[in-house]
Each structure stands twice: as structure tokens, then as C-alpha cells.
Amino acid sequence: MSDVSETAEAAAPTTGAVFRDAFRLLCILLEGSIPVDEGEGAEGFDRVFHGEKRAQAFVFYVCYPDYLANRLLDLHDAGQAGLLEKVGKIFAEDEPSVRLSKMIRWQRGAYFDLDNSLGVLSFYELIRPIQRTLPNLGSQHDYLVGPKAAVFVQEAVKAQPALAWYLERARLAMKVGGLKSGHALKAEQYKFGEYEGTKHSGVIPSIADQVKKRFEKAKAGDSSECH
């Protein structure tokens, strides 16, 4: 596999996965949204997801389960309960291999072309991308979501249970990222040598092996603590 083709594949998802990518993004936007400030929304859209960079950061966590697992272990180490089980499930399902959607490193970190997804979601009136002027006079892309999207996702999951994974994963990613800014999230991701060391336009490599080891260690430590 050449770098060029891999980069092309990673930068723009295959046309065959347009709806999947769109659904993934929708879940992220929905779970990462907050109610709009008064006078800020639009008809049918009562919540907002702030920042494209932030969206990219969450997409990265969903596309790279190993990086997510690593952050979950950080939280586990920090004392959050119930996360080790979730990490265990990630490895048990071989997610770092099977659920991987390769991303490339671009100017501002891991990058995935969201335009197609945003197009699909907009077309179906599930989101509405907006541009907001920041206090520093810069601009930021935000995404309005509303009850339609919430109902759509709920029904989709009911009709196609396999899609529930994206919703759950978005929620798990939110545990890691929460309401942190895109900048802060990227900074977290840069802590990984593999991430940071990836050259510009290169595919971000997997860190599954080392995370798995960390997980095994954490699990062993936990069980020894239990005993």
C-alpha cells in the first residue's frame, strides 16, 4: 500500500461509507452538543456543537479505538470507575483493527474530510452548519442539532442495532473529551509519540500493542489489588 493511496483513502473516506461516516459524525455532534444560548438557535435546532477542530478530535477518538482506550486508561489511573471493563471490551472485539478508520496528520492534527458527512446530514436537515464570530473576531464552525436528529438517531439505532456502536462510542469519547475545546483535545492527542511523530500527510499509526500491554498491566494491577 503506497503512501499516496493510503493518504487518499484516509483523507477522504470511500464513497461506499458516506452514510456510515455521516451517521458517525451525527452521533458525535449530537452527544457533544449543548443547548443553544437564547436567540442563537434556529427553528428546529435547539442545541449546538462547538468547533470543527473539536469535531475532528472526537472523530479521531472514534476512528482510533486504541487512542481512546489509552485515554480511558488515563482516567482509570486517575480513579474513574468502570472504564477498565470498557477498555477490555475494545480489545476483546479487536476494535483497534476492525473499527479503525485511518486518518492522516494535517496542519492541525488528525484530519478527516467532514464535508461529505456534513453535506449528507444537512441535506436531510439533521444539522445546520453555522459560522460564528468569536470574541477575538476570528470565526469558528459550529453545528446546530435538534430534536429531529435526536429522534433520527434513536430510531436508527432501534431499526439497525449495529449502528448503536457509533452512538455508544461517541458517548465514550465524550467521557474523555467532554466539553474540552478542540485545541485542548488536540493537545492531549499530541502527547502520543506516534501521533506527534507522524509526518505531515502521513497516516497516523496504531498504538494498539502498547495500549494493550498497558491495559493488561492495569488489569493485573487491579486484580492484585482486589486480592
Partner 1 sequence: MSATDTINWIDEIATKSRVERDEVAKILLAHGIEEDSTLPRKRSLTLKRVLLRGTKHGEDKPFEFLWDDLSNGIWGLLTDANSKGKSSILGLVRGALRGELPGSRLKPDVWGWLSEFELDFLIEEHVHRIRLTKPAGATEASTTVATLSRFDSDRELVIKRGISDGAFGKAIDSLFMDELGFSRVRAYRAKEGEAAEHGWPSMCASLFISGPGDTLFGDTSKDAVHLRLIQLFIGLPWVTTYTCASTALKAVSARLAKETAGKSDRVQGRIKELEEEIRGLEINLKDEPDLNRFRADLPSLDQELVEKRREAEAAAALIIERNTQYGDAKIVRAEARRKLLQAKDDAEARLVFKRLKPTCCPSCAREFERDRFAATDAPMCGLCGKEEDKVGSTEELIAELEAEAAETLVSQKAAEKAAGAAKDAFETASAAVGAISQRIEEVQAELHRGSAADEIILDIAKLKARIEELELASGPLVDVDPIRREEAILKAAEKVTKSLFLDLQTEILTEVSAALLKFSKAFGVRNLQSMTLNGAGHLKIEQGGQTTSFTKLNSGENLRVRIAAALAVLEIAERRGHGRHPGLIVLDSPAAQEMSHQDFAALVESVAAAADKFPDVQIMVGAVNRHELLSHVPRERRRHAEGDNPLF
* Site residues for partner 1 per CB under 8 A: 14, 16-23, 94, 97-101, 119-120, 122-126, 152, 155-156, 159-160, 162-163, 165-166
CB-wise, 21 or 31, nearer to partner 1?
21
Question: Closest separation between CB of residue 217 and partner 1, Å?
Answer: 23
CB 204 within 8 A of CB 7: no
CB 103 within 8 A of CB 111: yes
Q: Name the nearest CA neighbour of 34 among 169, 142, 120, 188.
A: 142
Q: How many CA atoms lie within 13 A of 148 on its CB side?
A: 14
Question: Closest separation between CB of residue 188 and partner 1, Å?
Answer: 25
CB-wise, 124 or 190, nearer to partner 1?
124
Question: Closest separation between CB of residue 57 and partner 1, Å?
Answer: 21
* Grid cell listed for 170: 461517541
Length of the chain: 227
Q: Cite the beta strand spans of the chain per DSSP E.
A: 34-35, 47-50, 104-106, 109-111, 127-133, 139-145
CB-wise, 31 or 188, nearer to partner 1?
31
CB-wise, 125 or 216, nearer to partner 1?
125
Question: Closest separation between CB of residue 135 and partner 1, Å?
Answer: 29
